[in-house]
Structure 1
Amino acid sequence: MPQGVPPNPIAPQHGPRPLPLFLDMLRSETAQSPERRRAALAGLARYQSAHRPPRDLDRPEAARAGRTVLRDHGGAGPPVVFVPSLINPPFVLDLDPQASLLRHVAAAGFRTLLVDWGMPDAGDRDEDVTGHVERRLLPLLDALGEPAILIGYCLGGTIALAAARPAGARALGLIAAPWRFTGFGPKARAEIAALWAAAEPACEALGMVPMEVLQSGFWRLDPARTIGKFAALADADERTLAAFVRLEDWANAGAPLTLAAGRQMFEDFIAADTPGTGEWRVAGERVDPSALTCPIVDFVSLTDRIVPAATSVALGDRREVGAGHVGMVVGGRARAVLWEPLTDWITAVARPR
């Protein structure tokens, strides 16, 4: 770590996780271009040494289920509960005052709440994704005392969809949410299976799936882009650098998955496609999206490399978005392509029927 850089609780390494894999990718992707390699290393150095103002991540606690907390992000009126992925921290939905889907929804007149999954420990190793639905999300929703509008992002959308029927959700919004995991395609699924086969013994010993395992999988989806974004940072202005640091710190942070959640995600979801084939059971029943009677909207990115459009549930009001997996939430066009249409939809479904 460069001298003089203050500790940061979000990204204590101030660099990609895991750095050795990043350097291997750098050598491979820039073998024929020393200039690009120098630019990527210069960008990495700027990222590592950048100033990081403290973040206020504390929000009032509305309900708790063990380590998992429902945090109140303000607003009044009907409750809208945002369910983030188990991968990466939830604050991407409230990245800063100018890039916050949650603040936008709260300002529109809704009580806006965010699930904070918390940090698992060794005692949680046997809690799979199903357990997160049954023992964490459903009790939090029940504590509200009234049906909520559920909005799930990425794997959080998969989880929200599974919770919608047993929770009696008022409506369900999905953002880049995978359901039909065969939509990742045979090549990507084979690469993910190989990644899990290599990582599983160490994860078994730890009782956790470290973020580094998941991050390396994301990088393999598009290594050229991973190197390219650091190369572009070499000559970026200070405003671009600050925005990059906020987002990259989020991408490099995150709690580990419990062993059982990681195993279910890799083996049952991605390899066997239990959600897409109707074999996933939650609260004693198979999860059948077609049985939902509440309003559903599904925002699907057409340029998503992490959750391809082919994985969507293909149900309800499908909105195709010309922005990437993260860009649709916090990018320069996020307000137009997601925040405003989602808030308009929430307003419509929240009207008394």
Structure 2
Amino acid sequence: MSTNPLIDLFSSFDYKKEQKRWNRFCNILNEPEPKVGQTPRKVVWQKNKTTLWHYPAEEKKHEVPVLLVYSLFNKPFIFDLAPGASIIEALVKAGYDVYLLDWGIPGYEDKGITIDDYIADYLQKGVKRVLRHSNADEISIIGYCLGGTMTAMYTAIADEAVKNLIVAAVPVDFSVSAVPVEWVEGLRNGVFSMDRFIDVYSLIPSYYVGGMFQAVSSPINNSPYVTLLNRAHDDKFVEKWQRMNKWTNEHVPVTGEAFRQFTNDLIKDNKLIKGEMTVRGEKVDLAKIKSNLLVISSKKDHLVPKEQSLPLLDAVSSEDKTSELVDAGHVSLTLTSQFATVIDSWLSERSRSLQKTK
């Protein structure tokens, strides 16, 4: 063995590996888009741009169907990113009839749709369709991020029987925030307002939505490219990275009036946790929620810290309420097998097993 460190370095250098790594990194954007959303599904109901999808259980084991609701800011295929990295696939294999409410991509003609409208005209009607389609009298709802905020609001005013409510990475108490404190204080003190911006655009373009999340998460949003450079020689990793990168870069436009409510009623005035939020004139009282409740948070969530989610546990009247802290980030939570395991473990005991009722 040589005693010259320089010679030792070059003798251990894997030229083929490095060549593949750099070639793949440089050419990654020219490769075909990866496939996402591969779990079999069919359309159950549509309204405007919104679609209700059904993913039938491989072998139905639970009576209570599950409805997934995601945020307004992103596409929901993060729930079904790839085989082996899909919460939908995991639930289907575990014996649940799964439904997904896909908000779709709003156009300029949808600029006036409010959060109230999304809850009353889309979410509530979607729940009714799930109950009718599944021939069930109760439902379990899983809401993620802002989708969790909206499902909590809906459950508080729902006439339908929501047996189980699961919320993950959910912002509820906006007195705690991951965004720079100066931004929030500026909104609350009237130093600046988003109203003029909303009035001008009416429909918030997707590139502004993406820019907003990049501003909040910077420099974290650049780290995936560093990781890709280091692991571009690994085909399996690159495949997963491509799917995740596709989702990250496909933000959707947001209707101006929904964004106005999100900014003013939730971030600025914190109306939900204060009990001042209304949906079409009806007060959203979280204390009216009596459903079995599971609140899932992530240790490394830099967008929605657990302190923003956990106050929901004290606000509801549920006798059966649990919190789980998962070792993941805001987005990576959806991809970890622990997420599916936590949901199935908790939900299976509260979904009426078909085997037990026979």
Q: Which residue of 2 aligns with 1:216?
A: 211
Q: Which residue of 2 aligns with 1:340?
A: 341
Paired with 2:124 and 2:26, the residues of 1 have a C-alpha distance of: 44
1:187-266 matched pairs, under 5 angstroms: 187-188=180-181, 190=183, 201=196, 203-236=198-231, 237-266=234-263
Could you tell me which amino acid in structure 2 is paired with residue 62 of structure 1? V
1:246 match: secondary structure: helix
Could you tell me which amino acid in structure 2 is paired with residue 311 of structure 1? Q
Q: 1:192 to 1:141 in 2, by over 3 A?
A: farther
1:296 match: secondary structure: strand
Q: Which residue of 1 aligns with 2:15?
A: none
Paired with 2:94 and 2:36, the residues of 1 have a C-alpha distance of: 24
Q: Residue 193 of structure 1: CA displacement?
A: 6.1
Q: Which residue of 2 aligns with 1:50?
A: 31
Q: 1:112 to 1:221 in 2, by over 3 A?
A: same
Q: Which residue of 2 aligns with 1:105?
A: 91
Q: Which residue of 1 aligns with 2:71?
A: 85
Given that residues 35 and 82 in structure 2 are in contact (C-alpha distance below 8 angstroms), is that contact kept between their aligned partners in structure 1? no
Paired with 2:23 and 2:224, the residues of 1 have a C-alpha distance of: 11
Given that residues 112 and 255 in structure 2 are in contact (C-alpha distance below 8 angstroms), is that contact kept between their aligned partners in structure 1? yes
Given that residues 113 and 255 in structure 2 are in contact (C-alpha distance below 8 angstroms), is that contact kept between their aligned partners in structure 1? yes
Q: 1:326 to 1:110 in 2, by over 3 A?
A: same
Q: 1:45 to 1:267 in 2, by over 3 A?
A: farther
CA deviation map 1:78-99 (0-9, x unaligned): 2100011111101100001111
Q: Residue 60 of structure 1: CA displacement?
A: 0.9
CA deviation map 1:42-83 (0-9, x unaligned): 997444223324445783112233321210112144210001
Q: Residue 141 of structure 1: CA displacement?
A: 0.8
Q: Residue 342 of structure 1: CA displacement?
A: 0.5
Paired with 1:339 and 1:192, the residues of 2 have a C-alpha distance of: 37
Q: Which residue of 1 aligns with 2:176?
A: 183
Given that residues 65 and 140 in structure 1 are in contact (C-alpha distance below 8 angstroms), is that contact kept between their aligned partners in structure 2? no
Superposition CA RMSD, Å: 2.7
Q: Residue 150 of structure 1: CA displacement?
A: 0.6
Q: Which residue of 2 aligns with 1:6?
A: none
2:72 match: secondary structure: coil
Paired with 1:222 and 1:54, the residues of 2 have a C-alpha distance of: 26
1:276 match: secondary structure: helix
Could you tell me which amino acid in structure 1 is paired with residue 295 of structure 2? D
Given that residues 150 and 160 in structure 1 are in contact (C-alpha distance below 8 angstroms), is that contact kept between their aligned partners in structure 2? yes
Q: Which residue of 2 aligns with 1:68?
A: 50
Q: 1:51 to 1:185 in 2, by over 3 A?
A: closer
1:173 match: secondary structure: strand
Which runs of no fewer than 5 residues in structure 1 stay unpaired? 1-40
Given that residues 211 and 255 in structure 1 are in contact (C-alpha distance below 8 angstroms), is that contact kept between their aligned partners in structure 2? yes
Paired with 1:176 and 1:244, the residues of 2 have a C-alpha distance of: 22
Q: Which residue of 2 aligns with 1:158?
A: 149
Q: Which residue of 2 aligns with 1:17?
A: none
Given that residues 75 and 252 in structure 2 are in contact (C-alpha distance below 8 angstroms), is that contact kept between their aligned partners in structure 1? yes
Q: Residue 293 of structure 1: CA displacement?
A: 1.2
Could you tell me which amino acid in structure 2 is paired with residue 117 of structure 1? W
Q: Residue 302 of structure 1: CA displacement?
A: 2.2
Paired with 1:286 and 1:85, the residues of 2 have a C-alpha distance of: 22
Q: 1:60 to 1:188 in 2, by over 3 A?
A: farther
CA deviation map 1:275-320 (0-9, x unaligned): 1211111254222222211100000112101111111144131111
Q: Which residue of 1 aligns with 2:317?
A: none
Could you tell me which amino acid in structure 1 is paired with residue 350 of structure 2? V
Q: Residue 231 of structure 1: CA displacement?
A: 2.1
Greater C-alpha radius of gyration: 2
Q: Which residue of 2 aligns with 1:302?
A: 299
Match of 1:59 among 26, 41, 51: 41
How many residues get paired? 308
Q: 1:227 to 1:118 in 2, by over 3 A?
A: closer
Paired with 2:241 and 2:161, the residues of 1 have a C-alpha distance of: 39
1:71 match: secondary structure: strand
Paired with 1:293 and 1:74, the residues of 2 have a C-alpha distance of: 28
